[in-house]
Amino acid sequence: MNLVLIVLVVSVIAAVLAAVLVFADTYINNYGECEIDVNEGTRTYTVKGGTSLLGALTDQKLFIPSACGGRGTCGYCKVKVIDGGGPVLPTEDGFLSPEEKKENVRLSCQVKVRGNIKIRIPDDLLSVREFTCVCSRIRELTYDIREFRFTLEEPDSITFVPGQYVQLLSPVYAGSSEEVYRAYSISSNPADTAAIELVIRLVPGGICTTYCFEHLKEGSPVRFNGPYGEFRMSDTDAPMIMIAGGSGMAPFNSILHQMKSTGCTRTAVYFFGARKVRDLFYIDEMRAFEKELPNFTFIPVLSEPQGEQWDGETGLVTEAVQRHFNDASGHEAYLCGSPGMIDASIVVLKKLGVPEDRIYYDKFS
Amino acid sequence: MNDSAGLMNVFVVCFAAAFTGNILLTTFLGMCSFLAVSREVKTAMGLGMAVVFVMTCTTVLNWMLYWWVLVPLHIEFYRFILFIIVIAAFVQFVEMVVERYSPPLYYALGIFLPLITVNCAILGTSLFMVIREYRFGETVGYGFGSGLGWMLAIVAMAGMRQKMAVDRIPKGLQGPGITLIAAGLMALGFVGFTGVLQAR
Ligand SMILES: Cc1cc2nc3c(=O)[nH]c(=O)nc-3n(C[C@H](O)[C@H](O)[C@H](O)COP(=O)(O)OP(=O)(O)OC[C@H]3O[C@@H](n4cnc5c(N)ncnc54)[C@H](O)[C@@H]3O)c2cc1C
Ligand code: FES
C-alpha cells in the first residue's frame, strides 16, 4: 500500500529530474555542427560540437599525444588554438608556461568545441596514424627488459625518424580496468618499414608494462599510434655524446641503424649506464656498429661491478663522461632514460661546456 | 509574529549561518574543495560565488520538496537520497545553461560547478535546514548565509595561502600541513563570533 506510493513518488521525482536533464542535454547542450580548421586549411573537419577538442580530433583519426586519457593530468595534448578556444581554464594553468600562454597553447583535452575553431599543430602530427599489428617476437634482453617486435597489419608500413616514439595501447586486462596509452621509443631500423621493435623495461606494478610482460604473447594483436616526438639526430656535423640507461637504449639503436645505412661518419661516443653485468644488453650489436661506423665508440659503464668480472668503465655514467672529456663545447648531446639520470647528465654536460640548446633528450617519465 | 520580526529573523539566521555557525569552520564540511581550490584569491572567489548560488537555490528547492512532498507523504527519511539527486541535477542543469548562454559567466563560475556536486557542505546545509525546522524565509537566509560564510572562509584562506606561498615554511609542513593548521586557527578565530549571536 504505502510502499507502492513511496516507490512511485521517489521514481516520479527522479524521472522528472532526469527528463529535465535529458531535455537540457538535447536542446541546450547542442552546439550543432562545428568546423575545426587545422594548420590554415591543410585539413578541415566538420564535427558535432559539445565534446572536447582532443576527443573530436581523435574521432577524426588525428592523433594528438595524450598519456592520461584526457583527464588533464599529463600535459601532453598541447595544441595552438588560434581562434575559438575561449580563455585558459584553471585545469590547464599549471601545464602552460607564460610563453605558451602568449602563443595560445592549450591542453586540447580541456578545450571544448563550442563553435568553429582554428588550431595549429606540428606537421608531423598530421602523419600520425593508428596501427594494428601482431606481436611477432618477444626476446628477453635482461631480467627486466624485453624486446617486442610488432609486425604491422593495417596500415602495413610505417615511416618514422629514428628517435621518435609511438603510443602503445594497454587494453583492459585482469588487473587493469582501463585502456591507457604509454609512450615507447622505436628501437628498430627505420629501413624495416613492415614492423617496429620496442625495448621495454618492467615497472613493477605499472599498468602497461605489466600487460606487456604478463599478458602479451607472441601472436597477440596489438594497437599503437604514432610516430611522435622531436627527439632525433640533428643535421649538423658536430661530434655527438650519447648517454642512456636501461630502456633508454631504444632510440639510439634506431639512430645507429640510420647512421649505418646513410654511411654517416660523424664522431659519436655512446655511454650506456647500468648497475651490473646482468643489466647490459645489445652489447654484440653495439660492438658491430663500432666496426661498421668509422667514428663510433660504445662505452658501457657499470655502477656496481663489485664481485663481477668487469674490466670496463665503472662508477656513474656521468662520472665516465667527465673522465672522457675536458672540454666538450663543440659537441651535441643526446640523452634518453630516467629523469634523474637526464637531469644529472645535463648538469655535467653544461659544466663541460655543451650549450644547453644543443642538449637533446627524451625523459622516460 | 509580525512581518518585520519575521524579516528580522531571516537576517539573524543569515548572519548566524555566515559567522557564528560557519558551516566550513564549525562543522568542517566542504573541506576537500576548500583545500584544493584555495591557492588563489581569484579562483577561490569564483568557487565561493558558485557555492553561494547553488547553496541558496538547492536549500530552497529541498525545502519545498521536504515540506510539500516528503512530509505530507510521511517519507521524510528519503530526504538523504532525494536531496543528493536534486543537488546533482540542479548543478548539472545550471552548468549547461550557463555554458550555453553566458560564456563569460561560465569561465568565471561555471567551471567550478562540477566540483560543487560533491561538496558535502551543500548537502549538509539542506539537512541542517530540516533539523532546525526553518520556515521558508529563514531557509532562504540560511542557505545564502551558509554559502556566504563558506565563501568568506575560502577567500580568506586563499589570501593567506598566497602569502604563505612565498614564506619559508618547514619542509614537512609545506602544502596541506600548514593549510590545515591555518584552517584550525581560522576556526578558532570564528569562535570569537559565538557570543554575538547563536544560531537556533
Ligand atoms: C617519450 C617517452 C619515451 C619512452 N620510451 C620508453 C621506452 O623506450 N622503453 C620503456 O621501457 N619506457 C619508455 N618510456 C616510459 C613509458 O612510457 C612508461 O612510463 C613506463 O613504461 C611505465 O608505464 P606503466 O603503464 O607500466 O606504469 P604506470 O602504471 O604508468 O606507473 C606505475 C608507477 O610507476 C611509476 N613509473 C612510471 N614510469 C616509470 C619509469 N620509467 N621508471 C620508474 N617508475 C616509473 C609511476 O610514477 C607510477 O607510480 C617512455 C616515456 C616517454 C615519455
Ligand atoms: S590528455 Fe593528458 S593533459 Fe590532456
Complex ipTM: 0.76
In the block, which residue shows the cell 560547478? B113
Smallest CA–CA distance from A115 into chain B, residue: B100
**Numbered residues of chain B with Cβ closer than 8 Å to any chain A Cβ:** 43, 65, 69, 73-75, 78, 81-82, 85-86, 89, 92-93, 96-97, 99-100, 103, 107, 111
Q: Kindly determine whether residue A21 and residue B107, on different chains, have CB atoms separated by under 8 Å.
A: no
Give the three-state DSSP class for A337. Answer: strand
More confident residue, A13 or B43: A13
More confident residue, B200 or B23: B23
Query: Which contiguous run of DSSP H or E holds residue B131?
Result: helix B120-131
Candidate from A68, A79, A225 with most ligand 2 atoms within 8 A of CB, to mutate: A68
Measured in Å, residue B98 CA sits from the centre of ligand 2 at 25
Nearest Cβ partner for B96 among A5, A24, A90:
A24
Cβ of residue A91 closer than 8 Å to a chain B Cβ:
yes
CA A312 to chain centre: 32
Q: What is the pLDDT of residue B4?
A: 65
DSSP string, A25-78: IIIIS---EEEEEETTTTEEEEEESSSBHHHHHHHTT-PPP-SSSSSSSS---E
Q: B109: which DSSP letter?
A: T
Asked if the model's pLDDT at residue B1 lies above 60, the reply is no
CA dist B191 and B193 (Å) reads 5
Residue B195 lies in a domain: no
Q: Please state, rounded to an integer, the average pLDDT across all residues of chain B.
A: 86
CA dist B121 and B115 (Å) reads 12
Q: Whose alpha carbon is nearest atom 38 of ligand 1? A: A365
More confident residue, A70 or A203: A203
Q: Kindly determine whether residue A17 and residue B43, on different chains, have CB atoms separated by under 8 Å.
A: no
* Average pLDDT over every residue of A305-332: 93
Q: Helix axis angle, A339-351 relative to A317-324, nearest 10°?
A: 20
Q: What is the pLDDT of residue B197?
A: 61
Q: Give the least confident one: A88-102, A263-277, A308-322, B123-137.
A: A88-102
DSSP string, A120-151: E--HHHHT-EEEEEEEEEEEE-SSSEEEEEEE
Query: What are the structural domains, with CATH classification, of chain A?
Result: 31-124 (3.10.20.30), 128-228 (2.40.30.10), 240-363 (3.40.50.80)
In whole angstroms, how far apart are CA A90 and each of A17, A100, B109, B159, B161? 30, 15, 11, 17, 17
Nearest Cβ partner for B93 among A9, A24, A90:
A24
Residue B24 lies in a domain: no
Rg (CA), chain A: 25
Q: Whose alpha carbon is nearest atom 7 of ligand 1? A: A184
CA dist B128 and B199 (Å) reads 11
Cβ of residue A25 closer than 8 Å to a chain B Cβ:
yes
Contact between residue B150 and residue B33 where contact means Cβ atoms under 8 Å apart: no
Residue B51 lies in a domain: yes
- Is residue B197 packed enough to be buried (19+ CB in 10 Å), middle (13-18) or exposed (0-12)? middle
Rg (CA), chain B: 18
- φ and ψ at residue A211, rounded to 5 degrees: -60, -50
Looking at beta carbons, which residues of chain A come within 8 Å of B89? 17-18, 20-21
Q: Could you tell me which of B92, B50, B120 has the C-alpha nearest to residue A90?
A: B50
pLDDT band at A75, cuts 50/70/90? confident
Looking at beta carbons, which residues of chain A come within 8 Å of B82? 10, 13
A69 lines ligand 1 (CB under 6 A): no
Residue B123 lies in a domain: yes
Q: What is the pLDDT of residue A347?
A: 95
Give the three-state DSSP class for A106. Answer: strand
Contact between residue A338 and residue A245 where contact means Cβ atoms under 8 Å apart: yes
Q: Kindly determine whether residue A86 and residue B103, on different chains, have CB atoms separated by under 8 Å.
A: yes
Q: Kindly determine whether residue A20 and residue B93, on different chains, have CB atoms separated by under 8 Å.
A: yes
More confident residue, B90 or B118: B90
Smallest CA–CA distance from B75 into chain A, residue: A6
How long, in residues, is chain B? 200
Quickly count: other Cβ atoms within 10 Å of residue A195's Cβ: 18
Query: Which contiguous run of DSSP H or E holds residue A352?
Result: none
In the block, which residue shows the cell 536549500? B59
Q: What is the pLDDT of residue B86?
A: 93
Q: Whose alpha carbon is nearest atom 53 of ligand 1? A: A364
Asked if the model's pLDDT at residue A154 lies above 60, the reply is yes
A197 lines ligand 1 (CB under 6 A): no
Smallest CA–CA distance from A26 into chain B, residue: B96
Residue B89 lies in a domain: yes
β-strand partners of A52: A112
Q: B161: which DSSP letter?
A: H
pLDDT band at A316, cuts 50/70/90? very high
Query: Which contiguous run of DSSP H or E holds residue A182?
Result: strand A180-185
Percentage above 70 pLDDT, chain B: 94
Q: Could you tell me which of A250, A224, A270 has the C-alpha nearest to residue A162?
A: A250
**Count of alpha carbons within 13 angstroms of residue A137, beta-carbon side:** 12
Testing the interface with B: which of A5, A7, A29, A92 to mutate, by most B Cβ within 10 A? A29
CA dist B44 and B52 (Å) reads 12
CB proximity list for A357: less than 8 A, separation 6 or greater: none
pLDDT band at A151, cuts 50/70/90? very high
Percentage above 90 pLDDT, chain A: 75
Quickly count: other Cβ atoms within 10 Å of residue A342's Cβ: 21
Give all strands (DSSP E) within B53-167, no chain letters: none
Candidate from A182, A212, A232 with most ligand 1 atoms within 8 A of CB, to mutate: A182
**Tally of structural domains, chain B:** 1
Q: Give the gap in angstroms from C-alpha B94 to the nearest C-alpha of chain A.
A: 10
CA dist A196 and B79 (Å) reads 59
pLDDT band at B198, cuts 50/70/90? low
Q: Kindly determine whether residue B111 and residue A86, on different chains, have CB atoms separated by under 8 Å.
A: no
Contact between residue A45 and residue B114 where contact means Cβ atoms under 8 Å apart: no
Q: What is the pTM of this model?
A: 0.67
Residue B9 lies in a domain: no
Q: What is the pLDDT of residue A1?
A: 53
CB proximity list for B24: less than 8 A, separation 6 or greater: B30, B31, B34, B121, B149, B150, B153, B154
Q: Give the gap in angstroms from C-alpha A18 to the nearest C-alpha of chain B.
A: 8
**What letter represents residue A53's amino acid?**
L
Cβ of residue A21 closer than 8 Å to a chain B Cβ:
yes
CA dist A275 and A280 (Å) reads 8
In whole angstroms, how far apart are CA A62 and each of A45, A65, A362, B121? 10, 10, 23, 42
Interstrand relation of A129-140 and A43-48 (parallel, antiparallel or unpaired):
unpaired
Looking at beta carbons, which residues of chain A come within 8 Å of B69? 9, 13
Parent domain of B38: 29-167
Residue B188 lies in a domain: no
A231 lines ligand 1 (CB under 6 A): no
* Average pLDDT over every residue of A44-59: 91
Cβ of residue A10 closer than 8 Å to a chain B Cβ:
yes
Give the three-state DSSP class for A239. Answer: coil
Contact between residue B153 and residue B171 where contact means Cβ atoms under 8 Å apart: no
CB proximity list for A21: less than 8 A, separation 6 or greater: B89, B92, B93
Q: Please state, rounded to an integer, the average pLDDT across all residues of chain A.
A: 92
